[in-house]
Structure 1
Amino acid sequence: MDYSTKDFWEDRLASDWTETGVGYRSLGKAFNVWMYRVRRFVFLRELQEAGVEVAGTSVFDIGTGTGFYVGLWKELGAGTVTGSDITSSAVSNLRERFPDSEFHVFDVSRPGLPVPAGSFDFVSAMDMLFHITDDAGHAQAFRNAAALLRPGGHFVFSENFLFGPEQRGPRQVNRSMHTIERELAAAGLEPVRHSPMFVLMNSQVDAPWLQRRGWAAIMRSATALGLGEPLGRALYPLEKRLVQTRSEGPSTEMMICRKV
């Protein structure tokens, strides 16, 4: 990531180290809380369905943010969880929140690791790779993830795998499934499981233009009217059902890969 992106997240997380600061800020905290409940459900379910054993293993989390996924790895029984973030403010807060874990300032989009290579059974990078706007940096992130893993280890991440045209903005790039699969293969990572993380409750990045605009308008209106909490509560059970019954979705998806 370039320095402007690092500074952006440093300022944002220093002022708002909550679900809203690391989440979809325009939807408000109440709705983001429900979105994180969906993330928790999908993450735990997908690892269980993949049949991988987490208990007693070593984990390295990239882009740790508030530590949400650190908590989930610990819930699954991981032996050690090491975290990292591009911002020093997040790392400082994480060290206070999880004194039994190690945290590093780490820009995954650049060469070089903060820990010895090949030290971990699992590496995760949740809800952050699409914020790497530099294509070379995005490919480097996959190489770094693979380098952190032992042979046969698993990389768990979420991305916006588009089947339509790639979407580029100053703070986010939504790349095609083809691009991501090519970068994974080049890094020696083989997909073993892939499923939607959201269907209705997150931005419809891989939907037709009108659907994307309509979703954004509805969500903005709900937030402005203070309806984020009841809307999230109402959508949560439906979203849980949808992510279990669909193999693809119009929003963020989760993938589990194995280091070949």
Structure 2
Amino acid sequence: MKKIDIEKGSKRADARFRITVEETGPYLIYGQPPLAQQFIMPDAEGESWYFQQGAHFPTDDEPTALCRCGASKNKPYCDGAHVHAAWDPRLTADDAPLLDNVELTEGETLSMTDNPKYCVFARFCDAKGQAWNLVGQPENDEARELAIREASMCPSGRLMAWDNETGTPYEFRFEPSLGLIEDVAIGASSGLWVRGGIPVSRESGETYEIRNRVVLCRCGASHNKPYCDGTHASIRFNDRLEGTPEGETLPEKVY
């Protein structure tokens, strides 16, 4: 069996946590990780700035089946709608590590890797002059901290900030957990945010690279399944889940 890749800066979750992607059906969740809405919240200028928890949903069933076709009437759970829904369930993503063939932006003390294939249109990289531009500002501690923050807030891990001296990435220390991303600013619901190194596997047993943060498609329309590719934004996918951003916010320090 092929060795399972673990992305640098990530750590595999405890063995009880895992996700199986059915070839033509839902995500099967094992280990009962916490599942809650995660709302993208703006700063005073209206830019994406932090996440805030909304409603929590139980994962007591073993496994818990979560919708990935976008058609369930019982979201976030699967209700069997995928059998008759007009969607393409094919898992088209390759198994290459995310850091293969990335674009690199280098600064004096900080670098940033970028794999646009994993953009989920969360827009945390746009604030304060864009993350890529912030990396290149020499001897500017504020710009450096902002670049680290913006890269680390990218839910899919498309962007990663790296310390040039140690060669290590800056990462939030996520516990194994799942988030239902809600993007109120554009009136759409985003993907399933998988955090803390939970392995994602196909029914065949093939396991995708284990990552600290990754977003799986929840609208059924991504062209890079099982991963989200931002298509939910263009089709204005809305899961119509009740819930408001009243819970904990994502911490701002990553180290």
**TM-score of the alignment, normalized to the shorter chain, above 0.5:** no
User: TM-score, normalization: structure 1?
Assistant: 0.23
Structure with the bigger percentage of strand: 2
Larger RCO of the pair (alpha carbons < 8 Å, separation 6+): 2
User: TM-score, normalization: structure 2?
Assistant: 0.23
Structure with the bigger percentage of helix: 1
